[in-house]
Amino acid sequence: MREITYLEAIREAMTQEMERDSRVFLIGEDIGEYGGAFQVTYGMLEKFGPERILDTPITELALTGAATGAALIGMRPIAEIMFMDFTTLASEQLVNQAAKLRFMFGGQSTVPMVLRTPAGSGTGAAEHHSQSFENWFVHVPGLKVVMPTTPYDVKGLLISSIRDDNPIVFIEHKLLYKTKGEVPEGLYEIPLGKADIKRAGKDLSIIATGIMVQKSLQAAEELIKEGLDIEVVDPRTLRPLDTETIVNSVKKTGKVLIVHEAVKTGGFGGELAGVIAESEAFGYLEAPIIRLAGREVPIPYNRELEKASVPQVEDIIEKARELATLKV
């Protein structure tokens, strides 16, 4: 099978869906001629024209509301907010409107929209261009939150998200854009709400999101040399969460390390820990549930400080080893 990048997979998903369904259109800043802040939509304006590729001035709030309104009367828009940091500006329309219109109106309507947004640190963009807020949106009933980590997953999940009749926050880690992987050429769906065991193991379960999945896999490759067989579970969809796969993994290994980039306090890891502790898996725990996550700081500019602010492969190796050998 041919290999393409995560970024190309996103573009392919959107292009193929737009060809298939005339109700799908894009709206966002600099997505037209500029090709998108990260070049995701490069070439799409030529293919679909300005009627379906809506470039906007700097209006995060209104463009998110516009996507919501269009979805409300039957269109299937994909909005882009070029940095997750700026979803703060859009959150009124996302949280108060998109998430709630269906419920508020007693089920009279649907809001089939996707809000795509690049998140995460590591590019030196510092405090206002590096954050991850997946937990904020996981917290809102009415929204779905998807966080794919491989080119294969991102295409299948984006296609499913576009076809889903609910408002979906679709989070792409910036550092994943250039990663390559095998991706089928045609249209295919990956169901939302299904986790993926990226690496099966028996000594420890790592539940990781976003780029931490990649880092955890690298850590696992190192640890197997020490005879430690690590299982890496990628939830892929954060809301709704595939609790069954996660619980079964923890039951199998009895030890769990949660790894995410976003700040630890109030982060999604707390939700995962709670889900595990409340489940059947509790009776199988051999050690405390440990979270390895972002430090309690805004992302700093200096390269080394930036790296130190989020878990790196060495950190994951150390923590995983500690937990797998019951030193904690």
Partner 1 sequence: MKLVKENAEKYLLQMYQIRAFEEQAEKSYMAGKIHGTMHLSIGQEASAVGSISTLEPTDYIIGHHRGHGLCISKGADLNLMMAEFYGKENGYCRGRGGSMHIADVKGGNLGANGVVGGGIPLAVGVGIGLKMQKENRVLLAFFGDGAASTGAFHESMILAVLYQVPVVFICENNQYAMSFSASDWTTSKKIAAHGVIYGMAESCSTDGNDLLEVQSAVEAAVKRAREGGGPSLIVNDTYRWRGHSKSDRNRYRTAEEIEEWKKKDPILKFRNYCLSKKILTEKEADEIKEKGYADIEAARVFAESSPDPKVETLEEGVYAP
Partner 2 sequence: MAIEMIMPKVDMDQETGTVVEWVKTDGQQVTEGETILVIETDKIAIDVEAPGTGILTGISAHPGDVIPIGTVIAYILEEGEELPASVPTPAASESEVVSAEKTKDAEIQATPLARKMAETHGVDLSRVPPSGKGGKVTKDDVQSVLAPAGPVTSGDIVATPSARRTARLRGVDLGQIKGSGPGGRIQTSDVENFQPRAAAPAISPVLGGEKIPLIGMRRTIAERLTASYQSIPHVQFTASVDMTNFIKVRADYNDLALERGDEKISVTAVLVKLVAMVIADHPMINSSLIEDTIILHQDINIGVAVALDKGLIVPVVKNANLKGISNIAFETTDLVTRAREETLTSADVRGGTFTITNLGPFGIEQFNAIINPPEAGILAIGATTQEVVALENGAIAVRPMMRITLSADHRIVDGAVAARFIADLKTTLENPILMNY
Q: DSSP secondary structure string, 16-54?
A: HHHHH-TTEEEEEET-STT--TTSTTTTHHHHH-TTTEE
User: Phi, psi at residue 28, to the nearest 5°?
Assistant: 175, 175
- Quick one: which of 316, 314, 328 has its CA closest to 199? 316
Catalytic residue among 128, 129, 139, 260: 129
Q: Is 104 in the site for partner 1 (CB under 8 A)?
A: yes
Site for partner 2 in 263-302 (CB under 8 A): 282-287
The reply on whether position 35 binds partner 2 by CB under 8 A is no
30 part of the interface to partner 1, by CB under 8 A: no
Closest distance of CB 111 from partner 1, Å: 8
- Residue whose CB is less far from partner 2, 61 or 285: 285
DSSP letter at 98 equals I
Strands 114-119 and 144-146 turn out to be: unpaired
CB 17 within 8 A of CB 24: yes
Is residue 187 at the binding interface for partner 2, with CB under 8 A as the rule?
no
CA-CA distances (angstroms) from residue 255 to 72, 144, 213, 282, 326? 45, 28, 17, 10, 9
**Distance in Å, CB of 87 to partner 1, minimum:** 15
Q: Could you say which of partner 1, partner 2, none residue 207 binds, taking C-beta under 5 to 8 angstroms by partner kind?
A: none
Three-class SS of residue 81?
A: coil
Least distance CB 287 / partner 2 (angstroms)? 7
Q: Which does 57 bind (CB under 5 to 8 A by kind): partner 1, partner 2, none?
A: partner 1
Which residues form the catalytic set?
129
Which residues of this protein are in contact with partner 2, per CB under 8 A? 254, 282-287, 326-328
